[in-house]
Chains A and B, each alone.
Chain A
Amino acid sequence: MGPTARSRWTRPALRNRGSPDPQVLSRRTHRRGARTAAACGLGLAVLASCAPRLDPDAPWSASEFALLRSLSPVAAPAPNAGNRFADDPAAAALGQALFFDKGLSANGQVACATCHQPARRFTDGLRHARGVGEAPANAPTLLGAHSVPFLFRDGRKDSLWSQALGPLEAEPEHGFDRMAAAHHVAARHRQAYEATFGPLPPLQDSTRFPAHARPVPLDRGHPHDRAWQAMAHVDRAAVDRVFAHIGKAIEAYERKLVPGPAPFDRYVAAVLRADPAAATLLPTAARRGLRHFIGAAQCVTCHNGPWFTDGAFHNLGLPRAAHAPSGIDVGRSLGAQRVKEDAFRCGGLHSDTKDCPELRFLNPRFADFLGAFKTPSLRNVETTAPYMHTGQFATLAEVLAFYQSLPGTAEVGHRELTLSLVAQDIDPVEIIAFLHTLTSPLPDARWLHP
């Protein structure tokens, strides 16, 4: 935790902004005043709490109680009809081997685990992930990734198996290609692959299957693309099938990554069975922080459900990171279009289901998708710094300072109206103390190494 968050009287938000514009300040004060009055005065159903007098052990109202139940515990991954190997143990074992296999990269140095390191709860501690090159984004944790309908900051993928194929061919990440990936599987994982997915195509026939090939839609002159276009249609389909199976094995592995109960889960379990010892299970500051989180600070508007994410996309109007790549990131508005056209989408040729309501009803032209990014899970957030999709913030104190000042305006689109300023009289240290109670033991040790 940064030193700026230690005292509630040191307002990091205001300090960091240099000399604040008086107009902005007065508007802010006004808004804050209005909200506090509404919350405290009317005591509305919205779990009102008045920060300064908040009792960490007040009896829970019925709606608070329901909310607590909705946040804990985490459930096992729901079935995924799009991948019929999703819960196949042999597929998971192969997926585990592939996840740690550096042979699936252009330089032989990069595996999924390079950026998604088990000991760091499947992140890498960097602002921007580094593989063969530098990725334009922060690597998120994989814990809980199975719980949301769309993957990546802009939701450009709609399943874990399809998602896994992205980094393999992304130039800054694995920088690999599906043809080489198929050859690698044939050379190193043939037995495990064929036992689960059936015989590999005759990849040794180099007249039909070159060493490297992949479609490169944005660069038709790329040697990989030329090699891909030169292949017979059936051979391309056979390679795509192997590629999809690589993804399906990796998804089966990722679904095993279920963390153990966090202190928060033990607390909720105790509250639910009316155990008088519940209060002893979390520090006082964290119990107060929880009440802010589901109450006046309204974090639970977006960070909800057992994984503390609504799986949806919001424009927070975040500051641009100093190190951000040039160009404007429109976020979900492009991601929604891309996922509808993705070759490995739900209902596509390689999907095991045709029932894809999330994709079918998705409206890619929804105006507020502009500049919106996916709500991340807050489980284990203590251990996954830096924060936000381009690592804008180094510490949770900086994140809270942002929510308590909402500086500037959105770079593109507009800051979502649901995001109301968090009152200055809410102690950020308490919310952070609560976030720390979401840290779980790592998943079972047998999944943490090749």
Chain B
Amino acid sequence: MNAAARLRIGALAAVGCGMVACYKDGSQKVAPAMAPPQALRVDSPALAPSGAPVAPAAAGEVREVGGPGERGTFRFVLRFTAPKVNELFAVETVVTDAATHAPVPGAKFSLDATMPEHGHGMMTQPEHRELAPGRWRTEGMKLHMHGKWIVEAKAEAGGRTDIVRVPWDQPPAVAGPVQP
């Protein structure tokens, strides 16, 4: 089994829901797609620890990345369909307490992506919306170049802050079928 398939199965097992079906049709089905927070305790192989390299994904593949934050306060799980270069995409992030695994509601939340080697971030300014306690949807992400990105999720709640930095290797150009 290739790494991608393992990751996909890992993600499905972790939340017990057809991730592709849940996320491919946008935000309409947010409620059924919502995973019970404790399900995320399962350490799915899809979760790369913060700082570890993430294998490049083919565009269209659903990915789940993240892990405990750098201060060990919160845990961040980011889910998104691997984007094509230069295409707008959305990310759903679940923020839980690293110790209790309870969702962290009402946080000040941000999600960003930067290319440290090039000294720049994204050409877009994404918007974040809390869909359910601790569960955020970010729209307007766009990786306009292939190469090494760092996706950065940050949360501040109840006087505590934490951040997770996930490396993301965006493959070049557009790969994958363009014609039906």
Residues of A within 8 A of B (CB): 45-47, 63, 66-67, 69-70, 73, 75, 294, 300-301, 304-306, 310-312, 357-358, 360-363, 366-369, 416-418
Expressed in whole angstroms, the Cα–Cα distance for A8 and B146 within the complex equals 30
Given A311-B86, A358-B88, A75 contacting B179 (CB threshold 8 A): yes
Q: Which residues of A contact B145 (CB under 8 A)?
A: 301, 418
User: Residue on A with the closest CB to B146?
Assistant: A301
User: Which residues of chain B in 140-156 are interfacial with respect to chain A, using CB atoms and an 8 Å cutoff?
Assistant: 140, 142, 144-147
Chain B, interface SS category = loop
- With A304-B85, A357-B88 known as contacts, the answer to whether A363 contacts B146 (CB < 8 A) is no
> Given A311-B86, A312-B86, A418-B118, is A363 in contact with B124 using a C-beta cutoff of 8 Å?
yes
The answer on a CB contact under 8 Å between B118 and A366 is no
Q: Is the CB of B177 within 8 A of A69?
A: yes
Check if A67 sits within 8 Å of B173, measured CB to CB: yes
Q: A67–B178 Cα gap in the complex (Å)?
A: 10
**B132 interface residue (CB < 8 Å to A):** no
A366 touching B176, Cβ below 8 Å? no
Is the Cβ of B88 less than 8 Å from the Cβ of A361?
A: yes
Assess A304 versus B173: contact at CB under 8 Å? Given A310-B85, A418-B145: yes
Q: Hey, which chain B residues are within 8 Å of A368, CB to CB?
A: 118, 120, 123
Interface size of B as a range: 20 to 34
Q: Are A63 and B123 in contact (CB under 8 A)?
A: no
Cβ of B139 within 8 Å of any chain A Cβ, yes or no, is yes
B125 within 8 A of A: yes
Minimum CB–CB distance for A261 against chain B, Å:
13
Interface residues of B in 2-52 (CB under 8 A from A): none
| Distance, CA A367 to CA B118, complexed state (A) | 11
The answer to whether B121 has its CB under 8 Å from any CB of chain A is yes
Interface members, chain B 157-180 (any A CB < 8 Å): 171-179
Which residues of chain B come closer than 8 Å to A369, judged between CB atoms? Answer: 123
B122 pairs with A67, CB closer than 8 A: no
Selected A-B contacts with CB under 8 Å, 20 pairs: A46-B172, A66-B176, A69-B178, A69-B179, A70-B173, A310-B86, A311-B86, A312-B144, A357-B139, A360-B127, A361-B125, A361-B126, A361-B127, A361-B142, A362-B123, A363-B122, A366-B121, A366-B122, A367-B120, A369-B123
Residues from chain A with Cβ under 8 Å of B179 in the complex: 69, 73, 75
Q: How many inter-chain contacts with C-beta < 8 Å in the A-B complex?
A: 81
Residue among A66, A73, A363, A418 making CB contact with B125, cutoff 8 Å: A363
Docked complex Cα distance between A356 and B21 (Å): 25
A294 surroundings in chain B (CB, below 8 A) = 173
Interface contact B123-A366, CB-CB below 8 Å: yes
Whole-angstrom CA separation of A305 from B177 in the bound complex: 11
What CA separation (Å) do A276 and B126 show in the bound complex? 48
Q: Which residue of B lies closest to A361 (CB)?
A: B140
- Asked if B85 contacts A363 (CB within 8 A), the reply is no
B173 contacts A300, C-beta separation under 8 Å? yes
Question: Given the known A-B contacts A310-B85, A361-B127, A418-B145, are A63 and B122 also in contact in the complex, defined by CB atoms under 8 Å?
Answer: no
Q: How far is the CA of A69 from the CA of B59 in the complex (A)?
A: 14
Q: Apart from A63-B171, A67-B173, A69-B177, what are 15 other A-B pairs with CB-CB below 8 Å?
A: A66-B176, A67-B175, A294-B173, A304-B85, A305-B174, A305-B178, A310-B85, A312-B86, A357-B140, A361-B88, A361-B126, A362-B125, A368-B120, A368-B123, A418-B118
Shortest Cβ distance from A292 into chain B, in angstroms?
A: 15
A260 to B88, CA, bound (A): 30
Q: Are A63 and B140 interface neighbours, CB within 8 A? A: no
Cβ of A48 to closest chain B Cβ, rounded Å: 12
Q: Which B residues lie within 8 Å of A417 (CB)?
A: 117-118
Residues 101 to 127 of chain B near chain A (Cβ within 8 Å): 117-118, 120-127
CB distance from A198 to the nearest CB of B (A): 34
**Nearest-Cβ distance from residue A45 to partner chain B, whole angstroms:** 8
Smallest distance from the beta carbon of B136 to chain A beta carbons, Å?
16
B151 to A: closest C-beta gap in Å? 16
Bound-state Cα–Cα, A73 to B171, Å: 22
Complex CA gap A70/B123 in Å reads 23
Contact A362 B124 (CB under 8 A): yes
Minimum CB–CB distance from A130 to chain B (whole Å) comes to 33
